[in-house]
């Protein structure tokens, strides 16, 4: 991954697809999905995601990696019609009435299994998996019509930044075939402070600013070693599962792509909602 100050290199814009037609390369995203209440409270990021979705063009499918599906090895959802999973408790009742009824993508899931196996992952299909809130909550804003096929790839229990980068690189060829890749996590994720802090904490913004500099600067080494290099890394991420989807998404980017910031602000004082996109057309000048 390397960000530049010029638009995306067009050399890899077209490539053969599974159906032998040619298509534009689909973008990659890292999206901070925050708390489940993001589904009801779009805040700053919701409209930004909807605008980004309007610029991404027609994707053939969306592959999404969420920290709310962790398994032995890697599982790839091949469900034809995935259910909406409400994998949370104690939130407002209207959240449990929401659904996101996008179709699944069994054929693309099979292709993802092949790519992951070729990269050395122990991957297998899962024909019963639905969409957890790390998937359907941000997709409600990115693709609100829910007519693009969606499938999830799980995170293995022994995942680390090196494995996340390797997964992104393994899945990257799908972008050239028209499949958007989304890493859904949270730029900062200290739930203890969400529930017990009750006020803004400067460290969260410091960490978010560091991450943005690393992503926009194409600093792969910083992302892979964020635990040692980022300010307050262990406080921003007491556990790593919500940061690793960022590394997956960055790994799915290609050399020379311009990373874009999708600003999301801060919720609950400590949940940074900033997100990023690679390969997304820039907004048209007003």
Query: What pLDDT band is residue 77 in, cutting at 50, 70 and 90?
Result: very high
Confidence grade of residue 19 (pLDDT, cut at 50, 70, 90): very low
Beta carbons of 136 and 146 less than 8 angstroms apart: no
At residue 21, does pLDDT exceed 60? no
Q: Please, where are the H alpha helices in the chain?
A: 45-55, 106-118, 133-142, 161-171, 173-176, 191-196, 202-216, 220-224, 226-229, 233-236, 244-251
78: closest CA among 108, 57, 54, 43?
108
Average pLDDT score, the chain: 90
pLDDT in tens, 143-182: 999 999 999 999 999 999 999 999 999 999 999 999 999 9
Residues 6+ away with beta carbon under 8 Å from 74: 116, 121, 122, 123, 124, 153, 154, 155, 156, 167
For 262-274, what is the mean pLDDT?
Answer: 95
pLDDT higher than threshold 90 for residue 219: yes
9/101 Cα distance (integer angstroms): 35
Domains and CATH numbers, the chain: 29-278 (3.40.830.10)
Q: What is the share, in percent, of the chain residues with pLDDT greater than 70?
A: 90
Q: Is pLDDT at 20 greater than 60 in this prediction? A: no
């Amino acid at each position: 991954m390397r960000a530049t100050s010029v638009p995306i290199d067009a050399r890899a814009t077209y490539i053969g697809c599974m159906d032998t037609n040619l298509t534009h390369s689909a973008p990659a995203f890292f999206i901070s999905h925050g708390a489940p209440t993001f589904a009801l409270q779009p805040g700053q990021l919701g409209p930004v995601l909807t605008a980004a979705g309007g610029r991404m063009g027609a994707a053939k499918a969306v592959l999404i990696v969420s920290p709310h599906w962790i398994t032995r090895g890697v599982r790839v959802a091949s469900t034809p019609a995935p259910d909406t999973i409400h994998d949370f408790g104690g939130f407002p009742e209207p959240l449990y009435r929401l659904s996101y009824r996008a179709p699944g993508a069994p054929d693309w899931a099979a292709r993802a299994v092949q790519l992951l196996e070729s990269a050395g992952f122990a991957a297998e299909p899962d024909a019963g998996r639905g969409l957890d809130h790390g998937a359907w909550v941000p997709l409600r804003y990115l693709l609100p019509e829910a007519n693009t096929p969606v499938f999830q790839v799980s995170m293995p229990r022994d995942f680390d930044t090196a494995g996340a980068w390797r997964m992104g690189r393994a899945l990257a060829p799908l972008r050239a075939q028209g499949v958007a890749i989304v890493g859904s996590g949270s730029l900062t994720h200290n739930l203890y402070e969400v529930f017990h802090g009750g006020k803004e904490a400067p460290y969260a913004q410091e960490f978010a600013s560091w991450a943005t500099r690393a992503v926009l600067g194409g600093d792969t080494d910083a992302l892979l070693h964020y635990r040692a290099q980022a300010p307050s890394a262990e406080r921003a991420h007491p556990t790593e599962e919500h940061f690793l989807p960022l590394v997956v998404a960055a790994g799915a980017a290609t050399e020379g792509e311009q990373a874009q910031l999708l600003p999301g602000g801060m919720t609950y004082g400590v949940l940074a909602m900033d997100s990023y996109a690679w390969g997304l057309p820039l907004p048209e000048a007003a």
